[in-house]
Chains A and B, each alone.
Chain A
Amino acid sequence: GAVVSQHPSWVICKSGTSVKIECRSLDFQATTMFWYRQFPKQSLMLMATSNEGSKATYEQGVEKDKFLINHASLTLSTLTVTSAHPEDSSFYICSARAPAGMSYNEQFFGPGTRLTVL
């Protein structure tokens, strides 16, 4: 149980285009999801916290107009990278907060999405 999927697993796009990444909790409802960014050989950096039915909370330094997050249902959150540029190329990982009855701090991570902007 507690499986999180991401789609697509990798994407290549041209500079200036927008890319949407989906994060789904497959077997549980996730009121809170998180989006991370990871550069090669670096740690995970939290970009934003996504709560179902409300606006996402962005970390300091993350452009909310560039990284649009929507959490329209209890099983789906999306991250849209708008007007992507080569410096947005990175590994994007989502996670979902553990459902009720499990550790309150535990997060289940998706497999990640590799974005390459040409």
Chain B
Amino acid sequence: QQQVKQSPQSLIVQKGGISIINCAYENTAFDYFPWYQQFPGKGPALLIAIRPDVSEKKEGRFTISFNKSAKQFSLHIMDSQPGDSATYFCAVTSFGNEKLTFGTGTRLTIIP
């Protein structure tokens, strides 16, 4: 059973545009929703994370939007740059459960 569904699988965005990646989950016990960025041949790095007590969190060009009732959260990358080209993973977990469950990943390509 897939605990978190991520879409799209791949995404091509023009430089300067907005990249949007979505994740949906089923378990309402989840209370920590991070996004990771991974470049080829490297380990993932935490980009931004949100807890369900807020609906949005912004850090620079990266924003997480969280919809608790719909059990969905999304990553928005504003003014997308070629250096943002990477694979992005959402993840979920809950208090008391130290494990992260990852989404399937989105390969983002920013074209000039």
Contact = CB atoms under 8 A, between A and B. Distances in A.
Contacts of A34: 99-100
Contact of B98 (A44, A49, A110): A49
B45 interface: yes
Given A44-B102, A46-B99, A105 B43 contact: no
Question: Main secondary structure on chain A at its contact with chain B?
Answer: strand
Interface residues of B, number: 22
B46 interface: yes
A44 B49 contact: no
A81 to B, nearest CB: 18
Question: Main secondary structure on chain B at its contact with chain A?
Answer: strand
Interface in A32-65: 32, 34, 41-44, 46, 49
Contacts of A43: 89, 102-105
Interface residues of A, number: 25
Contacts of A32: 98
A106 interface: yes
Interface string B19-52: 0000000000000101010000111111001000
A114 interface: yes
Nearest to A2: B46
Interface of A: 4, 6, 32, 34, 41-44, 46, 49, 91, 93, 95, 97, 103-112, 114
